[in-house]
Amino acid sequence: MHNSMLSQRHPCAGTDTACHRVLTPWRCKTIPLYALLVRYGFRKHATYVGAALAGAFTNSVFGILRAYILIALWQARPGLAGYDVADAVTFCFITQAFIGPMQLFGGGLGIPERIRSGDIALDLVRPASLQLWTLAEDLGRGAYLFLVRGIPPMLIGAALFGIVFPTGPGRWLTFLAGFAIALVISFGWRYLVALSVCWLLDDRGVAVLSMVLTTFFSGMMLPLHIFPGWLGDLAKALPWAAMVQLPTDLYLGKAPVLDTLAFQAFWAVVLLGLGTLGTRAIRHKVVIQGG
Amino acid sequence: MVRTYFLLLWTWTRAAAAYPASFALMTLLGFVTAGIDVAVILIVFANTTTLAGFSREEVLFLYGAASLSFTICDTFVSNIDRISQHIKAGTLDTFLIRPVGAWIQLTADRFNANRVGRIIQSALVLGYAIAALDLDWRRAWMIPVMVVTGVVIFAALWTFGGAMQFVLTDAPEVANAFTYGTQQLSQYPFSIYARDLVKGVTYVLPLAFINWQPGLYALSRDDPFGTPEFMRFLGPAAALVLALLAALAWRQGIRHYRSTGS
């Protein structure tokens, strides 16, 4: 009985399995683990279909209201920032579609609660990196919310106002690549915010600060191209621009592909690097209080 | 009833004051968060001088008036949003057996005094707009009337949202689309919206009476959609009707509430 259960579990579970002999131990154990975590993240959020659809409804309502502001602005200034009215409306609904998958209002990670309850100690002794573990789960969550909270606002925008769709599979691919990096950047930022709880104890202040920075500097409220003067230059250089503005520009075909992806990759690496340092730091800071 | 309400507010404020640093930080951040919407208006007007026929100061006036009503309700009524958690956890039962109305207790539930920062922010914007605009002083009486009307309409919307939670336990965000959505809607002159949408929020849900219709009177402007002059004064009546309907919905919700039994 015991043996049969083991053999059903996983092809790589034992040391003597076929898988172990053929593949290197690293590929055999690590990649399937994180792939599994991506799937679990997806399935965990798939349980809450109702909440996700309610979120999609709210995002769509706000998309409609914000679209009218942009339409009025672009009617007063046709061709502003190189967008026409259709581009501006499309911009508005894409940014609404990003709210769920990128958690632009913050949160999405269970780390602050786990730091407060002390469960983080358990996470840190697991034989897998806390950062990669959380990233894998978060990518699963992002993929699910992209489907359930991202697509409805786009369809509603298309039905009510008419939106632009990328021409050709090439642009779809560059958009999806940009979107995927943006998901990693969004995770990198939220992970740092979550780790800060270890030093600040109360996460509400940082959470609000993060929400203000993310919503304003990502381009979620207005395209960064219309920010005046130095504010616009500053906003375009910060990591939040790589979360919303740049993938949207890739979608609309308004940005040079390689430069944009390189800029996004730069911020993804920087934020993940800082996250690694942060993880190392809390490993030294955590004190297990005992049972 | 009013005394009980303020007693509850005071209790929650004392609880929050136990952490003074956090309290001060949250008040400041509330001020900053509320400032984002103003920043958006300012950036829009950095790119254009008029938006659908309205100047920057006129838009700030409409924003300030609606925002003042909204933030007052956000501080004193929005706690009712938490009803969905109470229904799920079964803790609503304790509210129902106390000798004070459930609505009073729930609107004061975990009252957050630091939201006052947002009220101050809205009042400052409204004050600036009034000072910057050359308003007709014989029409200024409309400004306090429209703020109070707005408070009643927003309070009614939050009560509707709370009543909806008895039916839609799993989707508190749907109620947000009405309350926060109305705030977003009323930040800008209604002339930017489509005619059918404006008809809907005038004759079906009276959201145009929060700041648009009375605001046109205070600004001495004609309605771009051509509604007759007397519509400017219907705000208080519309707010009252909406409040009565909200009270009925709330009663129905409470009556049909079934405890989780836990």
Higher local confidence (pLDDT), B234 or B32:
B234
**B33·A69 Cβ contact <8 A:** no
**A62·B184 Cβ contact <8 A:** yes
Residue B84 reports pLDDT greater than 90: no
Q: Which residues of B touch A (CB under 8 A)?
A: 19, 22, 25-26, 29-30, 32-33, 36, 39-40, 43-44, 46-48, 50-52, 168, 170-174, 176-177, 180-181, 184-185, 188, 192-194, 197
* Nearest residue in chain B measured CA to CA from A161: B194
Residue A270 reports pLDDT greater than 60: yes
Q: What is the DSSP string of B4-55?
A: HHHHHHHHHHHHHTTSHHHHHHHHHHHHHHHHHHHHHHHHHHHH-SEETTEE
| Other Cβ atoms closer than 10 A to B35 | 18
Segment A134-151 mean pLDDT: 92
Residue A1 reports pLDDT greater than 80: no
| Residue of B38, B44, B212 to mutate when probing chain A, most A C-beta within 10 A | B44
Contacts of A209 in chain B (CB under 8 A): 29
**A209·B29 Cβ contact <8 A:** yes
**A54·B32 Cβ contact <8 A:** no
Give residue A32's pLDDT. 84
CA distance B117 to chain A (A): 14
Residue A113 reports pLDDT greater than 80: yes
Give residue B181's pLDDT. 93
**B52·A72 Cβ contact <8 A:** yes
Residue A21 reports pLDDT greater than 50: no
Q: Which range is most confident: A75-79, A205-209, B13-17?
A: A75-79
Give residue A14's pLDDT. 46
Residue A265 reports pLDDT greater than 80: yes
Q: What percent of chain A has pLDDT over 90?
A: 59
What are φ and ψ of residue B51, in 5° steps?
-120, 115
Segment A138-165 mean pLDDT: 93
Cα separation of the two ends of chain A: 34
What is the distance between the alpha carbons of residues A100 and A210, in angstroms, rounded to a whole number? Answer: 16
Q: What is the mean pLDDT of chain B?
A: 90
Residue B83 reports pLDDT greater than 80: yes
CA distance B22 to chain A (A): 7
Give residue A18's pLDDT. 46
Q: Spell out the residues 6+ positions from residue A38 whose beta carbon is closer than 8 angstroms to its own.
A: A136, A137, A139, A140, A143
Residue A71 reports pLDDT greater than 90: yes
Give residue A25's pLDDT. 52
Higher local confidence (pLDDT), A129 or A174:
A174
Partner residue opposite A208 with nearest CB, options B29, B50, B188: B29
**What would the pLDDT profile of B94-142 be if each residue is shown by its tens digit?**
888 888 889 999 998 888 888 888 899 999 999 999 999 989 889 999 9
Give residue A290's pLDDT. 54
Rounded CA Rg of chain B: 19
Segment B250-261 mean pLDDT: 84
Residue B260 reports pLDDT greater than 80: no
Give residue A288's pLDDT. 66
Instruction: Sketch the domain layout of chain B as residue ranges.
Output: 20-255
Give residue A107's pLDDT. 80
Contacts of B48 in chain A (CB under 8 A): 73, 76-77
Q: Spell out the residues 6+ positions from residue B157 whose beta carbon is closer than 8 angstroms to its own.
A: B178, B179, B182, B242, B246
Give residue A8's pLDDT. 43
Cβ-based contacts under 8 A for chains A and B:
94
| Residue of A45, A57, A58, A83 to mutate when probing chain B, most B C-beta within 10 A | A58
Higher local confidence (pLDDT), A149 or A201:
A149
Q: What's A24's DSSP letter?
A: -
**A216·B39 Cβ contact <8 A:** yes
Q: Spell out the residues 6+ positions from residue A269 whose beta carbon is closer than 8 angstroms to its own.
A: none
Partner residue opposite A227 with nearest CB, options B30, B43, B50: B43
Contacts of A211 in chain B (CB under 8 A): 33
**B40·A211 Cβ contact <8 A:** no
Contacts of B179 in chain A (CB under 8 A): none
Segment B16-28 mean pLDDT: 80
| Residue of A49, A57, A66, A68 to mutate when probing chain B, most B C-beta within 10 A | A68
Q: What is the mean pLDDT of chain A?
A: 86
| CB contact at 8 A, A191 and A111 | yes
**What would the pLDDT profile of A190-242 be if each residue is shown by its tens digit?**
999 999 888 877 777 888 889 999 999 999 999 999 999 999 999 999 999 99
Taking the CA atoms of residue A111, residue A196, residue B71 and residue B203 in that order, the dihedral angle to the nearest 10 degrees is: -40
The tokens describing A99, both together, are 């709210």
The tokens describing A220, both together, are 């979620």
Q: Which residues of A touch B (CB under 8 A)?
A: 48, 50-51, 53-55, 57-58, 61-62, 65-66, 68-69, 71-73, 75-77, 80, 202, 204-205, 208-209, 211-212, 215-216, 221-222, 226-228
Contacts of B121 in chain A (CB under 8 A): none
